[in-house]
Chains A and B, each alone.
Chain A
Amino acid sequence: MVNVAQAVSREKVIAVMNSAGLDSDISTLDPSMSLSKQGVDSLDMINAMLAIQEEFNIKISDADMSSGAWGSVDSIVASLNSRL
């Protein structure tokens, strides 16, 4: 688990998501684009979000998920840093 007082980098988020064993290598995707539009299916998104919750010790609600704030790598980085 990381210290949430430190800024979260894009590289860190990609590494955490890839650690979940998704079908896609997140580092090969456009970080500014929606992950689902780049072929990351709903089950892999659920899996990736659980990995992020565990790594950063946060809770991502269903409302958070549907807001779009966790839909791309860059939005995930921004959302995590906004919680610092």
Chain B
Amino acid sequence: MIGIKEIAAWIPDGREDNLDKLTRHETDEGFVLEKIGIRRLSRLSADQQASDACVNAYDALQRKCNVDPACVDFLVVVTQTPDLNIPHVSAMVHGRLGLSPHCAAFDISLGCSGWVYALHTAVAFMTQNGLSNGLLFTADPYSKIVDPQDKNTDLLFGDAASVTLLTTDPLWVPGKGEFLTDGSQWQLLRKLDSGALAMDGRGIFNFVMTELPKSIERCLEKNGIGKEDIDLFALHQASKFIVEQLTKRVKINPDKVPFVIRDYGNTVSSSIPLVLEERIHDEQFSRVLVSGFGVGLSAGTSILNRCRHG
């Protein structure tokens, strides 16, 4: 049985202060701190790319648990902001970590739903092929593509990376996932020809508020459980407003829905593993709902079940 053994994250030290941008974006402190809920945005240095962030996340994993690189037989990187378009980031990370030539490695091009999709893909791939030690990375340094003049994106996105260790002696295993795509609205969040990110916040909000509550209900139903059976809802940390409104729409106890990104921002596919990093070792949690949503438009929701303590 393949599942999650450990999660480690890396958030760069660099920060942009959203309160320095109030004049530029004709907004106020209350809106930034209470509605968006993000004071600072984490920033890679100019010479760092997605692969550097992955390597730093791996170093954080090594400090938590000693992974033998020679035993890693699976590697996936979720990113839409790769160092280069060719080759895939996973190959670059594979090389820098000195992993075995018998290790499978590929990228998954997804945004905020990416960790949930990649988790299910990884578990299926590893199970089918008899693999036993996998690394699932997320790294989307949107700071490389955000236009500082664009209020819709310049106050939101921070840089980070995560790595999820997948093994045959897991602490957590995923249940049945529920996945959603609305490709008719792909224009709502995209990289323009200019290279800058563009987002229609209203369109994304409408998608999330109308489709995610139904998708979450379907996920619970598929797994034969109800909302009351969930100890923690790890929702994609898009903004305080989105998390709060989705919490209301799904009618869940806000105490079970953490919002943790005030000091670093929306880190795209890394946001869910960042919520989970410490909490997977908290024994008050036995069942967690994870739900990522955004670019595509795409959403992935799943249940994580604790299979042992540790």
List residues of chain A with CB under 8 Å of any chain B CB. 21, 41, 43, 46-47, 49-50, 53-54, 62, 65
Interface presence of B35 (CB below 8 A) = yes
Contact at A50–B206, with CB atoms within 8 Å? yes
* Interface SS majority for chain A: helix
B-side contacts of A65, CB under 8 Å: 202
Interface hub of A21, A43, A47, A54 (most chain B Cβ within 10 A): A43
Q: Say whether, besides A21-B248, A43-B241, A50 and B31 are in contact (CB < 8 Å).
A: no
Q: How many A-B residue pairs have CB under 8 A?
A: 24
A-side contacts of B259, CB under 8 Å: none
Q: How far is the CB of A39 from chain B (nearest CB, A)?
A: 10
Q: Which of B201, B210, B248 contacts A46, CB < 8 Å?
A: B201
Contact at A46–B35, with CB atoms within 8 Å? no
Q: Say whether, besides A41-B31, A43-B35, A43-B241, A50 and B248 are in contact (CB < 8 Å).
A: no
Q: Which of A21, A41, A50, A62 contacts B205, CB < 8 Å?
A: A50
Q: How far is the CB of A43 from chain B (nearest CB, A)?
A: 5
B-side contacts of A49, CB under 8 Å: 202
Q: With the chains together, A14 CA to B210 CA distance in Å?
A: 21
Chain B residue at minimum C-beta to C-beta distance from A47: B245
B-side contacts of A62, CB under 8 Å: 200, 202
Q: With the chains together, A55 CA to B35 CA distance in Å?
A: 24
Q: Say whether, besides A21-B248, A50-B206, A41 and B35 are in contact (CB < 8 Å).
A: yes
A-side contacts of B209, CB under 8 Å: 50
B-side contacts of A53, CB under 8 Å: 206
List residues of chain B with CB under 8 Å of any chain A CB. 31, 35, 200-202, 205-206, 209-210, 241, 245, 248
Contact at A47–B205, with CB atoms within 8 Å? yes
Q: How far is the CB of B307 from chain A (nearest CB, A)?
A: 38
Chain A residue at minimum C-beta to C-beta distance from B209: A50
A-side contacts of B241, CB under 8 Å: 43
Chain A residue at minimum C-beta to C-beta distance from B28: A41
Contact at B31–A46, with CB atoms within 8 Å? no
Chain B residue at minimum C-beta to C-beta distance from A41: B31
Q: With the chains together, A79 CA to B206 CA distance in Å?
A: 20
Q: With the chains together, A54 CA to B206 CA distance in Å?
A: 10
Q: With the chains together, A19 CA to B35 CA distance in Å?
A: 18
Chain A residue at minimum C-beta to C-beta distance from B36: A43
Identify 14 residue pairs between A and B in the complex whose beta-carbon atoms are under 8 Å apart, listed by A's number.
A21-B245, A21-B248, A43-B35, A43-B205, A43-B241, A47-B205, A47-B245, A49-B202, A50-B205, A50-B206, A50-B209, A50-B210, A54-B210, A65-B202
Q: How far is the CB of A37 from chain B (nearest CB, A)?
A: 14
Q: How far is the CB of A32 from chain B (nearest CB, A)?
A: 24
Q: With the chains together, A62 CA to B248 CA distance in Å?
A: 25
Chain B residue at minimum C-beta to C-beta distance from A21: B248
A-side contacts of B35, CB under 8 Å: 41, 43
Chain B residue at minimum C-beta to C-beta distance from A49: B202
Chain A residue at minimum C-beta to C-beta distance from B35: A43
Q: How far is the CB of B287 from chain A (nearest CB, A)?
A: 28
